[in-house]
Structure 1
């Protein structure tokens, strides 16, 4: 009675609350009171928090070679459960039912069930592991590093199929690109074009029956930068689009930081219809103009601006760098084409990469509405150093999707890449990023750029070959891709010096002899 009196004093004059507290504390059993509170919270979850009710049976299957080992395993399992305030019940005389229920048959023979809400049920299912497995023409990109499930992705189904492959030297970025190229070649009927500044891709292209175009001052393979596609688009004027490319080409040749002046642009635009006049009248390959024709037309103009442009073009027309003053003499309609520009000098390499991009545009316009065109450009940061090639690259990443093009930039120099003003547009228009091992400074930059958590960042920190993060839209998945080194395909894709040397020995040095033979022919 003394405690009862104290309880009434504690609640003051509110007799209703006093009676409820009295009943709750002294009449209703504590277990029932606890269950009542849980029932109220459960009802609130189901009514207002979008929760659902599940009947769950949790089974732990223990196996061992001997009875003693089995008893020890059961004891350890029970100890772990007790540590987290869970009690396990042994299924004595129900071992067979327990085994059949544990198998992935979808049948539960154990009548022991517990009602749980969605949040509580999620604890038993690895919802924290994201999976990426798509049907159709999806390509294999390795195994999920968390769940070991296959990663199958169809880049064509994303909002922007554009992509980037980023990684330090030796992390496997070139190998990953070749892996995807091979899958595209065998899985789809799409075309593949490769810009190869380091001469790494031609062994694989040869093996796939593709066309390798070696562009160098001593090569007999010629690409005409003046090539024009008459069926460019129903909406765009072919000459207008070509004029934009020629202006970028002249800006790069003249080396102007602020671009060429308005008067110089007008002179070039005036000359182009005159240069293409014969081809438009009779569109035969031999009537296709060259840089020499543009040079001659500029020399005939009276303005000093025209003479300044012609003088800048002179070394590329009549001088030592006239490799691009020829009509195209190679077949460009092969399914897989590789432009090998390793032997181009510093003055010509950026020019060569810009001309390759123009050839890619031509192929994309031809394939529009028929099939996709995959375009891979290695050492992508080189294109972003110059204003002209950078703006042309951004245009590709912005417009390729509408034309059925799928560009992929491959680079190791993240700081050089991110130093470009145009890289923001590249990242914003890329829904696919394959990120391999990254240097310490690059990791922090990319983490801020792509909103990568510290846990996710650990997958690109001192990671092995073919391991990293795959970004597909808003999905980020850690992956690992181990390739069988005993396969012939591996020897064609590897770029490790010792393995390349072994490949040369096994092939009798055929690839090395090919380059030597080309040089000998050019000298003759």
Structure 2
């Protein structure tokens, strides 16, 4: 026992005599051996050269000093190749001839850091690929075609002033020039009119003082994938009446029955002879309800009266604008609070009618919903938006929602489907609360999250299928296209004066 204690004390004494560096190197050597033996690592001999240039000797000295400072900041020392500058230059050129015999042993993981071209790229060379900015890591173009995605639905998320509307306009202009797709815009802030007018599209200004009208009763033969398109139209009219009647419980079962009965009555004449003159209007539904015996029918008719004969009768007219133009913008900025929800629902139905008509002719339809959070506040418009997200794909529709409130997209399990059924997300600068939600929902790493933290205009992350890329979009400000797309107050005023 005494001999064992003496030998242990002797070994500790000898170890204390070893230099500390030797003990450290011993641990490092054991760790390296473990990596090579059990962690599938290999050893590489690496020569790392930094080439500094300058127009003058003083500029060169400054550049060398700056490079050394940056390296020292990261606990690295750079040594000048005195009397070996020529060999260093030849070794730095892409000649595969290293003339500097200074080598450092590195494992596979450490060596991989120095290998170039490890940045993930996103470039599709199809005829309908659109530009979405530059890769922030490699400065290469990002060109993709949303139609190649499993689900082409998209979202543009960002704080006010981060460039949401500008990103949508850039895609609209690009899609207009590159593809044959039809483009429809739901514009609650009146921001898209200059671009649509410049592209010779149709701006439909829906307001109490406007002479442009859209008929909510419009229907076409392709409105539903079933044989009877009237069933789906009746569902929309029920949603419209529910919004008009209001109340916590919405329409009563008897009220739904009489509305459905009247819808089938007023469309008989049109389907017997489908000409524009026979298309019913809201007043036809109002009159049909008054002719029913049930008191519930009269209750719904009374609620509809202000929209038929009263001061809010702007939706009681046949459509008198070109809703078949290739690019159509529904400007609902001047609709009051009472009418905006109704206006949004009617625009959604107009879009659905266009998508179904285009499907039969094999054409895609791109639909942009700015300020999408406004659509999600009301149960009826939110439910209709969710249906669009679910149904549009197989009908050739490509919807894109713009919103600054991510919380609204996760307000209910049903609305959350919009988020989950979007394979393309352009994420611009995010507020602190939204960043945490998105990081958890999309599995964003802290490093990737830095690209949407206090980022500049047109900077952020692009989610395209399974690919996540940081991007930068520096749009030239001296172009006419920029002047008609910008929403900055000073630049809009300046463009108007020109």
Q: CA deviation at 1:389?
A: 0.5
* 108 and 386 in structure 1: CA distance in 2 versus 1, 3 angstrom threshold: same
| Structure 2 residue 486 is the aligned partner of structure 1 residue 494 | yes
* 479 and 40 in structure 1: CA distance in 2 versus 1, 3 angstrom threshold: closer
| Structure 2 residue 362 is the aligned partner of structure 1 residue 370 | yes
Give the 5 Å matches for 1:499-514. Answer: 499-506=491-498
* 37 and 227 in structure 1: CA distance in 2 versus 1, 3 angstrom threshold: closer
* 495 and 43 in structure 1: CA distance in 2 versus 1, 3 angstrom threshold: same
Q: CA deviation at 1:472?
A: 2.2
TM-score in terms of structure 1 length: 0.79
Specify the alignment match of 1:108 in structure 2.
96
Q: How many residues align?
A: 475
In 2, the alpha carbon distance for the partners of 1:53 and 1:357 equals: 62
Give the 5 Å matches for 1:12-51. Answer: 42=36, 49=40
Aligned equivalent of 1:357, options 345, 348, 351: 348
CA-to-aligned-CA distance 1:278-313 (integer Å, 9 cap, x gap): 111111111111111111111111112211111111
In 2, the alpha carbon distance for the partners of 1:93 and 1:278 equals: 94
The 8 Å contact of residues 90 and 98 in structure 2, kept in 1 or not, is answered as: no
| Structure 2 residue 315 is the aligned partner of structure 1 residue 327 | no
Q: CA deviation at 1:455?
A: 3.1
The 8 Å contact of residues 36 and 42 in structure 2, kept in 1 or not, is answered as: no
Aligned equivalent of 2:266, options 259, 275, 293: 275
Instruction: Determine helix, strand or coil for the equivalent of 1:408.
Output: strand
Specify the alignment match of 1:149 in structure 2.
140
In 2, the alpha carbon distance for the partners of 1:145 and 1:242 equals: 47
* 249 and 59 in structure 1: CA distance in 2 versus 1, 3 angstrom threshold: same
Instruction: Determine helix, strand or coil for the equivalent of 2:113.
Output: helix
Specify the alignment match of 1:475 in structure 2.
467
Give the 5 Å matches for 1:74-93. Answer: none
Instruction: Determine helix, strand or coil for the equivalent of 1:124.
Output: coil
Instruction: Determine helix, strand or coil for the equivalent of 2:470.
Output: strand
Specify the alignment match of 2:435 in structure 1.
443
Q: CA deviation at 1:348?
A: 1.1
CA-to-aligned-CA distance 1:377-400 (integer Å, 9 cap, x gap): 111111111111000000111111
Q: CA deviation at 1:75?
A: 9.3
Specify the alignment match of 1:516 in structure 2.
none
Give the 5 Å matches for 1:146-295. Answer: 146-235=137-226, 237-295=228-286
The 8 Å contact of residues 409 and 418 in structure 2, kept in 1 or not, is answered as: no
Aligned equivalent of 1:122, options 112, 115, 130: 112
RMSD across aligned positions (CA): 3.6
In 2, the alpha carbon distance for the partners of 1:178 and 1:72 equals: 44
The 8 Å contact of residues 384 and 422 in structure 1, kept in 2 or not, is answered as: no
Give the 5 Å matches for 1:412-423. Answer: 412-420=404-412, 422-423=414-415
Instruction: Determine helix, strand or coil for the equivalent of 2:426.
Output: strand
Report which stretch shifted further, 111-120 or 277-286: 111-120
Specify the alignment match of 1:20 in structure 2.
none
Report which stretch shifted further, 469-478 or 185-194: 469-478
In 1, the alpha carbon distance for the partners of 2:322 and 2:63 equals: 68
Aligned equivalent of 2:394, options 398, 402, 416: 402
* 115 and 287 in structure 1: CA distance in 2 versus 1, 3 angstrom threshold: farther
Q: CA deviation at 1:239?
A: 0.9
Any gaps of 5 or more consecutive residues in structure 1?
Answer: 1-5, 11-30, 507-524
Instruction: Determine helix, strand or coil for the equivalent of 2:461.
Output: strand
* 189 and 100 in structure 1: CA distance in 2 versus 1, 3 angstrom threshold: farther
In 2, the alpha carbon distance for the partners of 1:437 and 1:35 equals: 46
In 2, the alpha carbon distance for the partners of 1:233 and 1:281 equals: 18
The 8 Å contact of residues 384 and 420 in structure 1, kept in 2 or not, is answered as: no
The 8 Å contact of residues 223 and 352 in structure 2, kept in 1 or not, is answered as: no
The 8 Å contact of residues 409 and 416 in structure 2, kept in 1 or not, is answered as: no
In 2, the alpha carbon distance for the partners of 1:329 and 1:434 equals: 36
Any gaps of 5 or more consecutive residues in structure 2?
Answer: 9-24
Report which stretch shifted further, 246-255 or 86-95: 86-95
Instruction: Determine helix, strand or coil for the equivalent of 2:392.
Output: helix
TM-score in terms of structure 2 length: 0.83
Q: CA deviation at 1:102?
A: 4.3
Aligned equivalent of 2:383, options 378, 381, 391: 391
CA-to-aligned-CA distance 1:103-132 (integer Å, 9 cap, x gap): 5x6x52348899977534422136774432
Q: CA deviation at 1:469?
A: 2.3
Q: CA deviation at 1:489?
A: 1.0
Q: CA deviation at 1:432?
A: 1.7
